[in-house]
Amino acid sequence: MDDASSHVTVSRQASGVHVVQFARPRKKHAFTADMYQRLAHALRGADEDPDCGAVLVRGDAETFTAGNDLEDFLNEPPADASHPVFALLEALVEVDVPLVAGVCGPAIGIGTTMLLHCDFVVASRTAQFRLPFVDLGLCPEAGSSLLLPRVVGDRIAARMLLLGEGLDADQAERAGLVSEVCDNASTLPQALRIAERVAAKPRAAVRATKQLVRDALRPAVRAAISRENAAFIERLASAEAKAAFATFLRQRKRS
């Protein structure tokens, strides 16, 4: 049986980096409500720790995250702002500690949208970025309706959001979603090196700089997330989404 308390782990490095790792490999690190809550808590904790200079968010060498655990999601759907998924979205917008992501393999759904809030994204050549919201009868989340077109441009955002098309690592780097692409074995070490470089800088100055860079956009991101949350809850209750989820789960049981 999975131990939910170990699905998101935090290790505090002597360098001042908090390494936050998804640790549910049997489910390809698919997010449960508990994982959303624990990740939000980890980010908030790092932001409140003056000894933390950066956060590295990572999966393992095979998978970043498969996105939502759909069965868990249907058992505990977001009905209002108290749901753990919204705690994570708020944390991603509000924290001033620099965020670095190390991405190997699939980064699906929230696995891609959370990257829009990161300051550095190091991806392996195996990385894949996909937003299958429409295929599930849903809509964008995590401010991606605003941030994705801003980062990758309207045309690529339309392909990802409306068609559900994915990007490979090189495409994501060219589009601006990824900072750099590495060989698979080098990706997580390189992500850690970047986090350590940031953490070695004067920490108050780094946080003040990130705050200045982000503050102008934060009200618009908060407003986008609020709109998305309302639409997402409505979509989740729709007959269209229920049919799409049923089809997906039925196909998965057959495979």
Contacts of 99 (CB under 8 A, 6+ apart): 43, 54, 55, 57, 92, 117, 118, 119, 120
Neighbours of 90 (CB within 10 A): 16
The per-residue pLDDT for 5 is: 67
Task: List the CATH number of the domain containing 17.
Answer: 3.90.226.10
Structure tokens at 61: 């060498």
Convert the pLDDT of each residue in 132-154 to its tens digit: 999 999 999 999 999 999 999 99
Q: Judge whether residue 107 has pLDDT over 70.
A: yes
Output the pLDDT for position 1. 41
What's the domain range around 57?
4-254
What integer is the mean pLDDT of 184-203?
98
17 close to 55: Cβ distance less than 8 angstroms: yes
pLDDT digit string (tens) for 28-48? Answer: 999 999 999 999 999 999 999
The pLDDT-based confidence of 181 (bands split at 50, 70, 90) is very high
pLDDT surpasses 80 at 2? no
Confirm if 17 and 56 have CB atoms less than 8 A apart: yes
**Count of residues in the chain:** 255
Q: What is the pLDDT of residue 3?
A: 60
The pLDDT-based confidence of 255 (bands split at 50, 70, 90) is low
Q: How many domains does the chain have?
A: 1
